[in-house]
Amino acid sequence: MKESSELIDILPPDLIKFILVALFSLLIGLEQRRQFINSSLGSRFGTDRTFTLIGILGFILYKLDPANLIPFLGGGLILGLFLSVFYFTKSFLQKEFSITSIVVALITFCLAPLIYTQADWLVILIVVSVLILVEIKETLFNFSKKIDDNEFITLSKFLAIAGVILPLLPNTPISETISISPYKFWLAIVAVSGISYFSYLLQKFVFPQSGIILTGILGGLYSSTATTFILAKKSKESDENYKITAAIILATTMMFIRIFILAYLFNKSIAIQLAPGLSLLAVLSAAIGLYFIWLDQKQSKTTKQQSEIKAMSNPLEFRTSLFFGVLFIVFALLTSFVNSQYGTSGIQILSFVVGVTDIDPFIINIFQSKWNISEGILATAVLNAVTSNNVLKMIYGISLSKKNIRKPILIGFSILILTGLLCSFIF
């Protein structure tokens, strides 16, 4: 290792940079040749030797006048004109309009000034990006088929709410009654929407035919209550009784993980208070889910039924965000009123009541608000809300599912509800 380092120190810097230019250009050229071999297109602009020579040409012209770059710019202009002639000729004769090879050739020509002026990691990143983008043409084409008309609008919405609106909002409390600032209010929307959007993308593009178990796991990141509702109704169309029960329980496992992530993002001290209880509930629910999967495998025959659940609706719909925002403000006012009038006992009772709604606005209010209440009490309120929400999901599961899986659902959620109450009492 030491000898190789000494050898590099002995070699002239220009020689090392020339070798890098030639090597990177050759790699790009080899990739072009591979594309040429696998392609049915008629003519293509150069392959390994051509691209290597283009890189060397760029090196020579750059070294002639690195300060003013006149030879390099002139050579680039001539090369660009030549490539333009080639492109228009090819377009006219063969009716082919791809300019990928031409753009790659221009990038190859620019390698020399990049190597001389930019950090090594940036140059390598550019070369790797070129190689990957040229290679994954078919993958990108197949991926684009999965994108409907609204996907980029959805992405634009998320970028707007996270990167444009959020930084512009003031970070001062709205009023004495509502101690949360507009910035923290919108940050809550971004956090919940971000987790939901991530789950939505996984479900639609990475695991489009995920089956019941993975649907429960990914759906739990979005909304365990909605996932339970959908899976319970789906059970009437499927014979995989234990598998659907497992998916419902695993959706709740993801709810525990999602709540801890939100707690860690907004209030790390409460997250530490919640860690033991949420960890126990997550591990226990995962064990129950795995047990039902084991029962399904034990019961199943040689033929397997692969069920699919329709992906969750887009979590960034305006009505969804508006509903979350309204609930957030309502719970901020309600929690502040209950705290001022009834103290900690009122907060505890309220935490059980909110379980019948979307609990995220309530718990994020808990994480962000500055009340004269101990963090242990606030953590208990979160656990109570989770337990209450599990009661609601158990009711959904029993009332909407077919008769065969009602008992497993009742047993699974009863264990989690009793454990949740025990965690609230202990922690």
Q: Select from 92, 108, 142 the last residue of a domain.
A: 142
User: Which carries the bigger pLDDT value, residue 427 or residue 164?
Assistant: 164
Q: Are residues 20 and 72 in the same domain?
A: yes
Task: Name every residue whose Cβ is closer than 8 Å to that of residue 123 and which is 6 or more positions away in sequence.
Answer: 20, 24, 111, 114, 115
Q: Select from 142, 169, 189 the last residue of a domain.
A: 142
How many Å is the maximal CA-CA distance in the chain? 83
Q: Are residues 338 and 190 in the same domain?
A: yes
**Both tokens assigned to 149:** 């008309």
Q: Are residues 135 and 162 in the same domain?
A: no
Euclidean distance between CA atoms 296 and 304, whole angstroms: 10
Q: Over 80: is that where the pLDDT of 179 sits?
A: no
The pLDDT of residue 210 is 58
Q: Is the pTM of this model over 0.75?
A: no
Residue 147 belongs to some domain of the structure? no
Range of the domain at 416: 153-426
Q: pLDDT of 92-127, one tens digit each?
A: 766 666 678 888 889 999 999 999 999 888 999 999
Q: pLDDT of 53-71, one tens digit each?
A: 999 999 999 999 888 889 9
Q: Which amino acid is at 87?
A: Y
Give the number of residues written for the chain. 427
Contact 181, 173 (CB under 8 A): yes
Q: Over 90: is that where the pLDDT of 223 sits?
A: no
Q: Are residues 329 and 422 in the same domain?
A: yes
**pLDDT band of 342, cuts 50, 70, 90:** low
Which value, in Å, is the radius of gyration of the alpha carbons in the chain? 30
Percent of the chain at pLDDT exceeding 90: 15
The pLDDT of residue 375 is 74
Going 172 to 178 to 184 to 190, the CA torsion angle's sign is negative
Phi, psi values for residue 67, rounded to 5°: -80, -50
Euclidean distance between CA atoms 58 and 77, whole angstroms: 12
How many folded domains does the chain comprise?
2
The overall average pLDDT reported for the chain is: 78
Q: Are residues 191 and 315 in the same domain?
A: yes
Q: Are residues 104 and 193 in the same domain?
A: no
Q: Are residues 225 and 105 in the same domain?
A: no
Q: Which amino acid is at 415?
A: I
**What single-letter DSSP state applies at residue 314?**
P
The pLDDT of residue 302 is 39
Q: Over 90: is that where the pLDDT of 287 sits?
A: yes
Q: Select from 110, 142, 174 the last residue of a domain.
A: 142
Q: Are residues 99 and 162 in the same domain?
A: no
Q: Mean pLDDT over residues 234-257, rounded?
A: 83
Q: Over 50: is that where the pLDDT of 218 sits?
A: yes
Q: Mean pLDDT over residues 389-417, rounded?
A: 86
Contact 106, 79 (CB under 8 A): yes
The pLDDT of residue 304 is 47
